[in-house]
Amino acid sequence: MTPPASLSETEKLLLKATREVHDFKTALDEHAIVAITDPRGKITYVNEKFCAISQYNEEELIGQDHRILNSSHHPKAFFQELWQTIQSGEVWRGEIRNRRKDGSYYWVDTTIVPFVDSEGRPVQHIAIRADITERKLYEEELAKLAAELDSKNKELETVIYAASHDLRSPLVNVQGFASVIGEEMADLKKLVQACANGETPELSQVQAIEGEIERALDFIIAGTTKMDALLGGLLVISRLGQLEVRDVAVDVGRVVEMNLSAMRYQLEEAGATVLVEDLPMARGDADLLGQVFGNLFGNAIKYSSKERSLVLKVRGKDFGDKVRYEVSDNGIGISKQHQDRIFNLFHRLNPTDTEGHGVGLAIVKRALDRMNGTVEVDSEPGRGTTFSIVLPKSAV
């Protein structure tokens, strides 16, 4: 549009400047989320992108301050520092997580520019933002993957330690007692040769060799049994990390019933009384949850007291968006010095009292981690143990 010839040069320059400002504003509004506030922080202007991302219309925003978008993610000190910066006439830059009208969250890379009068007092603030929600979600996913990788590296270190220590110990025993059998077999060959030469060996010599071989074989069998149990535990741990975990409604009562049925013989042998309350549904993976309850029930049997019959109780209840289950027994309990490490791989509950291999509770912890669940222990030696499991609540 050509300005009228009657306009003065000053008017023409003013018109040109107005158009340029309009063009700049149009370009900025197309690209960025823009808001203007007065010196008190009250919103006086928002563009369409601001309304679109926040889900508030212009009428709902004008006259409000930015607390309407507060997600409670940042501490009060964060906004105090922001306000002090712009009140002093300096530009503030940072990343803020806001909350939309529907309660969902979004991230914005923010620059707030204060404008001051001739006396240096703020007259308004212009905030220009860019939506960085996808980038932040990507960063969170990377952080999660990094944490998982770190966890797997630590687990690998534990496995390597187990291979060099827990597995080495029974292997050394097997090797040592295999040598004993070799020595006794050499002595036995001498006795056989003596018999072939018409000599009659002492009965005590034969019995001594027989006893040594039997003793060595017992230790070898015990060592190989322990190695098999440890390797089996490592295999289960490895599979837990590879399984595709389902996130569905799980009938926990059914899972508990199936595990108790599978262990009926052991429970009867232990003379156990089993009490199961009505159990609420949860979200998770039924197979993994079966591993959890199976190992907890197995521990209750393994660590039952010789002074009284086993009583095993299972109960559960809803609270908020979670559900909590408790597996309690009246067994020998867990000493305080072991309670903070019982979920570590190959850490045995009571090393001096039992023959556990330290795998079951590690499986429980890892299975629950995969289902976004948690497990805690409350125990007193001589009185029993309660394991508390928390899982997401099922909507069904």
AA letter at 328? S
pTM above threshold 0.75: no
C-alpha dihedral, 112 to 113 to 118 to 119, nearest 10°: 30
Alpha-helical segments (H) within the chain = 9-31, 48-54, 58-61, 76-87, 133-164, 168-196, 203-242, 252-262, 264-269, 286-302, 336-339, 360-370
pLDDT at 64: 93
- Give CA–CA dist 67/98, Å, rounded: 9
- Give CA–CA dist 226/232, Å, rounded: 10
Of residues 363, 390, 362, 366, the one with CA closest to residue 376:
390
In contact, 326 and 204? CB cutoff 8 Å: no
- Write the CATH number of the domain with boundaries 248-392: 3.30.565.10
Dump pLDDT digits (tens) for 349-366: 555 544 555 677 888 888
How much helix, strand and coil, in percent to the nearest 5, is found in the chain?
50, 20, 30
DSSP 38: -
Q: Which residue is it, tokens 């156990």?
A: 272
In contact, 330 and 311? CB cutoff 8 Å: yes
pLDDT at 107: 97
pLDDT at 354: 47
Residue 17: strand, helix, or coil: helix
DSSP 172: H
Show the low-confidence residues of the chain (pLDDT under 70). Answer: 1-7, 21-27, 155, 158-159, 161-169, 229-230, 233-234, 236-243, 345-358, 395-396
- Write the CATH number of the domain with boundaries 32-131: 3.30.450.20
pLDDT at 6: 60
Dump pLDDT digits (tens) for 250-276: 999 999 999 999 888 889 988 999 999
β-bridge pairing 322-329 and 311-319: antiparallel
Q: Give me the residue spans of the domains in the chain.
A: 32-131, 165-242, 248-392
Asked whether the domain spanning 248-392 has the same topology as the one spanning 32-131, the reply is: no
Of residues 368, 380, 371, 396, the one with CA closest to residue 293:
368
